[in-house]
Amino acid sequence: MIDATDKIEKACQVLSQEVKELYLGNEIAEINGTINPFMFYRDYVSKNLPVVIRNGVEHWPAVRKWSITYLREILGDKLISVAVTPNGYADAITKCVFEGITKQYFVMPEERSLTMSTFLNTLENHESESIFYIQKQNSNFKDFTELWNDTETDISWATNAFGKKPDAINFWMGDHRAVTSMHKDPYENIYCVVSGEKTFILHPPTDLPWIPYEKYPPAVYKEIEPGKWTIEPVNIKNNVESEYSEIFDTIPWINIDPLNPDYNRYPKYKNVQRLEVTVKKGDILYLPSLWFHHVRQSHACIAINYWYDMEFDIKPSPGGVGDNGVQGVRGKGLPHVIYCRLWRWPDLQSHHELRAIEHCEYAFTQKRDEVCVNPYHYQRIQTPVLPAILVPRHNLAGDETVLYNTSLEELSVSVPENTSFHATLNHQHHNQQNIPQSPQQQQQQQQQQQQQQQQQQQQQQQQQQQQQQQQQQQQQQQQQPNNPYQGMQSMQATSPASVGSLGSVQGSPHPTSGSMDPPADTPPPGYISEDGDNMDHNDNMSLSRLSPSPVDAQPVMYCEPAFWCSISYYELNTRVGETFHASQPSITVDGFTDPSNSERFCLGLLSNVNRNTVVEQTRRHIGKGVRLYYIGGEVFAECLSDSSIFVQSPNCNQRYGWHPATVCKIPPGCNLKIFNNQEFAALLSQSVSQGFEAVYQLTRMCTIRMSFVKGWGAEYRRQTVTSTPCWIELHLNGPLQWLDRVLTQMGSPRLPCSSMS
C-alpha cells in the first residue's frame, strides 16, 4: 500500500513538472479590451488557463462613479454584512491556545451588521485597529440593488462560453490590510476590479503535491472589547456552512503564506509554479476553477466577481457565440461539435457541417448510447462548386413554344396544402439522424450521388458539343422575331404576393429592399388575385417540343454574395422595420431585443403603430424563434421556439414531392432543409434551353416564407400568409443574382411587356 502511494505521489510530481515546463509560461496571458467567446473558450477555458482582459469593464458606469463619496450617497443607511478581524486574515489558519492546548485553527471572521456609512467611515479612519472587509460570498451583490444599473448582470462573452448565467455575483470592498489567504474554489471565476487594484498569486491545480493542504478545526474571531480579540472554536456540524466540509469536524485549508513561506516546514513548496499578476481598475481576471490563489489589495479597493458553477466532466461550448442566445453557442452544444471546433475548425457553426467517416462505429448519426468525439473521425462538408450555366447570347429562333415548369405554375392555387415534419420527414430528413445508416447504405448512397454527378456532367458536355457545332452556322442564319404568345403566365419575385411561397395573396405588401429586381428588359411581376387566378393566365398553353436554333453559348458562373439572404418581417400584410441582410452562415430570427448582433434578427425591437392584440399576443410566443443555417450550399431551418414554425419553400416541396404551395409545419426542436443550390442549378440549366420566361419563372424558388406560432393553408383558419400575425420572407440573394446574370445574358423576353405582365 505504501509502495502504491509513493508511485502515485511520484507520478503527480512528474505531471506537475511537465506542466510547468511544457504548458505554463512564466506570465499570465493578457488581452486588451474584449475577447471573443469562442476564443475565450478555446484558448483559456478548455485549457484551464487564467487570462487578464485589460480594460474589460472600462465601459461600466461603476468604473467612473464608484467611490467612498458615491457609495455613501447611494447606500448610506443600508445595512450590510461586514467581516471584521484583528489582522486582516479572514478564513485563514491561526495558532491559538484553547483550554491550555496550543493548536492551529481555521479561523473565520466576526460578521457584523453595519450601515454602509459606518463601514465607509472605518475605511477613511486609517488608524482603526480592527480591519473591515465586505467579503460575504453568498451572492451578496443581490443586496446592493441600488448599484445594479452601474454594472452588468453577467459578462456576456463568459456566459456565452460557459453556456449559462452566473450562479453568484459577489461584491468586495475593504481595507488594504485585508488579505485573502491561499485557497482554491470549485467555480469558474470572472473577477472585475472597479476601483483600486488587486494582486493575485496563483498556482496551477497540478501543483497540489507541493502545497500543504491539511484539515483544521474551525474557530471564529470575537472582539470582546475594542482592540481585544479572542478565538472561539465552533462546532462545524451546527454552526458553520462551508462548501469545503461534509460531516467532519475539520475544514481542509492551506497553511502557507506565499508572501513569507516557511520552507523549513514546507520544503516541497519550493517546487510550485508561482504566477503573479496585478488586476487594475477596469480589468478582468479569468481565474479557472481549482487554481490556488492568494489575494491582496489597495485601500478601499472595490471589485465584483461572477461565479459560474460548472460540471467538470465537460465544459460546454459557446454558442454562439449564441443561441440563449451562444447563443448560441446554444446551451452546452453537442460533444462532437465541441471537439471538432476546438481542434480542427474554429469557425464550425453546427453539426450540419459535419459528416462522419465510414468506419466510425460511434458516429453522432448512429444514435448510439456513446458518441465518438474524435475530431478526425469527422469530415467537414464543403460547399460544392456549382457548374457554370451555358447561356445563349440571343433568344432561340423559330416557331418553337416555350416549355414551362408546370410545378411552379401550380403555385397559383387558391389555398395551399399542409404537411407536418413528423408526418413525412422522419425518413427523408437530410441528416438521417432518426435512421442510422449502415456502411452498405452509405456506400450505395455515395454511388448514387456519383452516378448523378456523372450524368449531369455528360449532359452538360453533350449540350456544349451541340452548341459548338451550331456556332459555325450562326453567321449564315438570322434570328427571326418570335411570335408573341398571348396570355402567357407572368412571374413575380420581389413582392410577398409572389408565389415563391404562396400564390394566393391579395393586396401584397411592399417589395423588400433586399430582393433582386428583374433587369430593365424583363417583364415585371404579374398580379395574382385572392382566388388564385393570374390575370394573364392561359390554360391552353402548348407544351410542344422545342426546335432549337444555333446559338453562341456563354458560361455564367455562380458567385457567392456578401449577404447570402435578406429577411423582411411582416405583421399581417404590412412590412415592419428594415430588411435584415444576413452575412453570417448561422443566424437567428427571434422575439428578443438585441440591437446590434450580426447573427440575430431581433423582432422584439420593431414597432408598429397599427399592431393589434392578436399580433401582440403572437409576438410574445415567438421566443427563440428560428435558426437559419447556410452550409455547403444548403439552407436549413431549425425551430428554436416553444411554438411551431410554418415554412413554404418551393425548392423543398419539389424535393419531397409535395404540391408546390405546400406549407410544412416544423415543431420545436426539429429542422428541415429548405433550399439546395445544386438542385436549383440543375433546374436552371434545364430552364435555359426552354427560354427566357422559363428561367425567370425560377425566381419563385428563391423566395421562402415562414410564419411564427400561427400556420396557414387548407387545414387552418388562415388561408393566406398575409393573414398570419407574424411572418418573415427570405430572399436568397445568391440564386437570385445568378438568375439575374443569366437573364441579362439571354437578352429580352419573347413576349411584349404590358401593364399586367
158-178 pLDDT tens trace: 988 888 888 889 999 999 999
pLDDT in the model for residue 161: 87
Are 209 and 268 a contacting pair, CB within 8 Å?
Answer: yes
Tell me which residue has cell 432518426.
Answer: 434
pLDDT cut 90: percent of the chain above it: 36
Domain presence at residue 755: no
Whether residues 231 and 349 fall in one domain:
no
Number of folded domains that form the chain: 3
pLDDT score recorded for residue 562 = 87
- Distance between CA atoms of 751 and 757, rounded to whole angstroms? 9
Specify whether 144 is located in the same domain as 192: yes
> Looking at the structure, do residues 94 and 154 belong to the same domain, yes or no?
yes
Last residue of a domain, one of 348, 380, 412: 380
Instruction: State which residues form the domain around 261.
Output: 1-309
- Residues 500/705, Cβ–Cβ less than 8 Å: yes
pLDDT at 119 over 70: yes
Element (H, E) at 133: strand 131-134
pLDDT tens-digit profile of 282-302? 999 999 999 999 999 999 999
Do 102 and 139 lie in one domain? The reply is: yes
In a domain, 107, yes or no: yes
Highest mean pLDDT among 7-21, 197-211, 303-317: 197-211
Q: Do 46 and 176 fall within a single domain?
A: yes
Q: Based on the domain organization, do 203 and 101 belong to the same domain?
A: yes
Q: Sheet with 92-98: list strands edge to edge.
A: 92-98, 101-108, 218-225, 228-233
pLDDT digits (tens, 9 = 90+) for 371-415: 898 989 998 887 667 777 776 665 544 334 444 454 555 555 557
Please give the pLDDT value at position 539.
Answer: 37
Q: Do both 120 and 220 map to the same domain?
A: yes
Band (657; pLDDT cuts 50, 70, 90): confident
Instruction: Identify whether residues 340 and 305 lie together within a single domain.
Output: no
Q: What is the Cα–Cα distance from 333 to 346, expressed in whole angstroms?
A: 14
Q: For residue 403, tell me if it sits in a domain.
A: no
| Rounded mean pLDDT, 561-567 | 92
Over range 242-263, report the average pLDDT.
73
Residue 547 lies in a domain: no
Same domain, 184 and 100: yes
Closest CA to 711 of 648, 651, 658, 755: 648
Per-residue pLDDT at 328 exceeds 60: no
Per the CB < 8 A criterion, the answer to whether 158 and 294 are in contact is no
In a domain, 757, yes or no: no
Q: Quote the mean pLDDT of the chain.
A: 77
What residues are paired with 371 via a beta bridge?
Answer: none
Give a yes or no: residue 461 inside a domain: no
The answer to whether residue 574 sits within a structural domain is yes
526 or 364, which is more confident: 364
The CATH number assigned to the domain holding 667 equals 2.60.200.10
Q: Which of 251, 275, 309 is the last residue of a domain?
A: 309
Q: What is the rounded distance in angstroms from the CA atom of residue 78 to the CA atom of residue 118?
A: 10
pTM here?
0.46
How far apart, in whole angstroms, are the C-alpha atoms of residue 683 and residue 696?
12
**Alpha-carbon separation of residue 101 from 96, 97, 98, 223, 698 (angstroms):** 8, 5, 5, 21, 92
Is the four-CA dihedral 138, 142, 144, 150 of positive or negative sign? positive
Per the rule left: phi > 0, alpha: psi between -120 and 50, beta: everything else, 101 is beta
Based on the domain organization, do 220 and 103 belong to the same domain?
yes
pLDDT of residue 413: 53
CA–CA dist 664, 679 (Å, integer): 19
Higher pLDDT, 186 or 457: 186
Instruction: Give bridge partners of residue 18 from the DSSP assignment.
Output: none
Looking at the domain assignment, is residue 38 inside a domain?
Answer: yes
Q: How confident is the model at residue 19 (pLDDT cuts 50, 70, 90)?
A: confident
Asked if residues 423 and 712 have their Cβ atoms less than 8 Å apart, the reply is no
Angle (nearest 5°) at CA 342 between 381 and 668: 60
Look at residue 526 and tell me whether its pLDDT is greater than 80: no
pLDDT tens-digit readout, 688-728:
888 888 888 888 889 999 999 999 998 899 999 999 999 99
Task: Specify the pLDDT at position 245.
Answer: 39
Identify whether residues 156 and 289 lie together within a single domain.
Answer: yes
At 368, which CATH number? Answer: 3.90.520.10
Of 254, 274, 309, which residue constitutes the final position of a domain?
A: 309
Query: What's the rounded Cα separation, in Å, for the pair 214 and 271?
Result: 18
8 Å CB contact between 247 and 229: no
375 and 241 part of one domain: no
Predicted pLDDT of residue 507: 33
Residue with cell 400556420: 711
